[in-house]
Amino acid sequence: MKLKQSDLWMGLAILAAFFVLAWLPLAPGADGWLSIVVPITMYTVLATSWAIFSGPTHYVSLATAAFFGVGSYTLALGLESLPYPVLLIIAAILGAIMAALVGWATLRLSGVYFVIFTLGLAELTRQVFTWYQNNMGGTRGSYVFTDLTDAHIYWQLLALALLVYLVGWLINRSRLGFAIRIIGGDESVAKHSGINVAWSKIVLFMVSGSVAAVVGAILAPRFVYIEPSMAFNPQLSFMVVIMALLGGTQRLWGPLMGAIPFAFVWEIIASNFPAQTTLLMGVAFLLVVFYIPNGISGVLIRWYHKARSKPGVSHE
Amino acid sequence: MSSAVLLEVRNVVKRFGGLVAINGVSFDVHEHEVLGLIGPNGSGKTTMMNLISGALPATDGYIAMDDKLLTDLPTRKIARAGIARTFQLVRVIPSMTVLENVMAGAVFGHKKLWGHALAVYAERQLERVGLVGISHKLTADLTYIDQKRVELARALASDPKVILLDEWLAGLNPTELQTGIELIRSLRDDGRTVILVEHVMDAIRSLCDRCVVMSTGNIIAQGTPAEVLADPQVIEAYLGEDYE
């Protein structure tokens, strides 16, 4: 399929936006609000890559924390022996391998088993790392000493976000993207159309897992000291799901629409009700699922169609 | 009718736990014929279709096409070998446009198109089944009959050697039925082989070159529609013993 003129303009607009965003850390007083901008960028990358797999397949993955943690630990454990960029690549590969194994083992099963398995996976990896550090490593946690500041982390996340959008866009235009939409619509039709259902799902899950692992590696220096309960925090997985669903998973830009508002809301919740965060996260989840099942992007798309077409014609 | 055997079904058994749905069935399907698979409800017709398309694995026996064993292949490879189907309960993807639904048949299987060629090709399949000017509608907004047409267009899009139609004519009004019958006949004229499960007797009489009649998992008669419909065993299976 040829590149449309509108795609080209969209691409240029996105590049321009990233260029502007890249100057953010140089603005006056940036240190203060980088502390909220870094998590927003992180969650945008995680939720967008989560939606690349879970959006079309409707398989809700709670494994983000597992990939993230493996990425963080790759960096923490390898920092003394290997150069930093190599560690990012290793994190990406480990994330992809882990996703392939999990996918191979579970994606043949129905959705519910997959959700439970991915939730268990994060816990399992956490326990394995804890056990290893207790019995073999000598210490509980690891120090991550680098010269990287919040600005460096932000720039890396921004570059990764650009890469995720590019990959997501390419997938959407590809046979694989078409295959995964058919699979999400009706697996039986997909099989009878000649689609390798398991393989398609595994490839997309690998993309998603690999990105989450790289995010974990990039974020590790920010923790300075990491231990399993931080690196494999299940709350991260739930946050990603809520943000992606709040934003909507039908478009690539959907999760962004969820990550930005929810990160601010979460900041308010965490500072005012530190003891009730889990409860309030559950409430947020219910509100999203009940009131905006197609997310903010879904609402925007509906308004757009309403404005364009005659009244009464719905595109739901 | 004297043409070569395309599809061989041999001693096929399908058990669901203790229930024997297909009990050692054997028959041949010849090239370029319309074969009717008929029989009362629950006789195993749809199960047989599911075994041929690979939707279900056979418990025993085998199915082969052109000397290629289909029985052990995954569904997608059976599709790629050139077998396409429609479903008894129509299966279209409601969130996709009509054109996308049809395109789905011609990308990954027997036919591997993409881009502009794919769109043009899919549009032609839609014309073939009598759907014009609605290709950008969402399939969810179509009537049941039109959804069935979309499903047939998707099956045709894969350019199959064998096409399985599971009660595709059910629910059509008399005019639509006539068009439907013509359409299926034209598939045979294209050189395709058609296996259809059908209850509409008019369609069976006018379309089928041969019929295989099933009852409770067994074949009870084979032959031309006139022959099998006159067979006392067939009449008994359909209407019960006391029918005069």
pLDDT, one tens digit per residue, over B20-29 is: 999 999 999 9
> For residue A217, how many C-alpha atoms fall within 13 Å in the half-sphere facing its CB?
28
How confident is the model over A32-78, as pLDDT tens digits?
788 889 999 999 999 999 999 999 988 899 999 999 999 999 999 89
SS3 content of chain B, % helix, strand, coil (to 5): 40, 25, 35
If you count DSSP H runs as helices and E runs as strands, how many of each does chain B have, helices first? 9, 10
Q: Is A175 on the interface with B (CB under 8 A)?
A: yes
Residue B242 pLDDT class (50, 70, 90 cuts): low
What does pLDDT average to over chain B?
A: 92
pLDDT at A272: 87
Residue A73 lies in a domain: yes
DSSP secondary structure letter of residue B138: B
Top pLDDT among A263 and A209 is at: A209
pLDDT for res B38: 93
For residues A273-299, average pLDDT: 86
* Per-residue pLDDT at B208: 95
Q: How confident is the model at residue A2 (pLDDT cuts 50, 70, 90)?
A: low
Number of structural domains chain A divides into: 1
Confidence of residue A313 (pLDDT cuts 50, 70, 90): very low
* pLDDT bucket at A316, cuts 50 / 70 / 90: very low
Report CA-CA distances (Å) from A15 to A48, A172, A173, B238: 17, 19, 19, 69
Q: Which of A193, A251, A308 to mutate to test the interface with B (most CBs of B within 10 A)?
A: A193
Kindly state the tokens that stand for A124. Answer: 């399992």
Q: Please check whether residue A219 is in contact with residue A153, taking contact to mean a CB–CB distance below 8 angstroms.
A: yes
What crossing angle do the helices spanning A111-132 and A64-78 adopt, rounded to 10°? Answer: 20
Q: Which of the residues B46, B50, B75 would you substitute to probe the A interface, choosing the one with the greatest number of A C-beta atoms within 10 Å? A: B75
Is the Cβ pair B138, A315 closer than 8 Å?
Answer: yes
* Within a domain: A291: yes
Position A89, amino acid = I
Name the percent of chain A lying above pLDDT 90: 51
Q: Which 27-56 residues of chain B touch chain A by CB within 8 A?
A: 53-55
Partner-chain contact A194 B115, CB within 8 Å: no
CB burial of residue B91 (10 Å; 0-12, 13-18, 19+): middle
Q: Determine how many CB atoms are found less than 10 A away from the CB of residue A156.
A: 21
Residue B199 has pLDDT above 50, yes or no: yes
Give the confidence band of B1 by pLDDT, cuts at 50, 70, 90: very low
Q: How confident is the model at residue A219 (pLDDT cuts 50, 70, 90)?
A: very high
| Domain B1-82+195-244: CATH class, spelled out | alpha beta
Burial string for B26-48 (b: 16+ CB within 10 Å, else e) reads ebbbbbbbbbbbbbbeebbbbbb
Closest C-alpha among A152, A153, A141, A185 to residue A42: A153
* pLDDT value, residue A314: 46
Instruction: Print the domain residue range for A154.
Output: 33-308
Q: Flag whether pLDDT at A263 surpasses 70.
A: yes
- pLDDT at residue B3 in the model: 77
- Res. B243 pLDDT band, cuts 50 70 90: low
CB contact under 8 A, A194 and B85: no
Q: Rounded mean pLDDT of A134-149?
A: 78
Q: Report the pLDDT averaged over residues A130-158.
A: 84
Domain contains A5 = no
Name the average pLDDT for chain A.
88
Indicate the pLDDT class of residue B50, thresholds 50, 70 and 90.
very high
pLDDT at A275: 85
Residues of A with CB below 8 A from B87's CB? 188
Residue A214 lies in a domain: yes
Backbone angles phi, psi at B103, to 5 degrees: -60, -35
B177 touches chain A (CB under 8 A): no
Determine contact, residues A230/A215, Cβ cutoff 8 Å.
no
A197: domain CATH number is 1.10.3470
Instruction: Give the pLDDT confidence of A104-127 residue by residue, as tens digits.
Output: 888 777 778 888 889 888 889 999
pTM for this one? 0.89
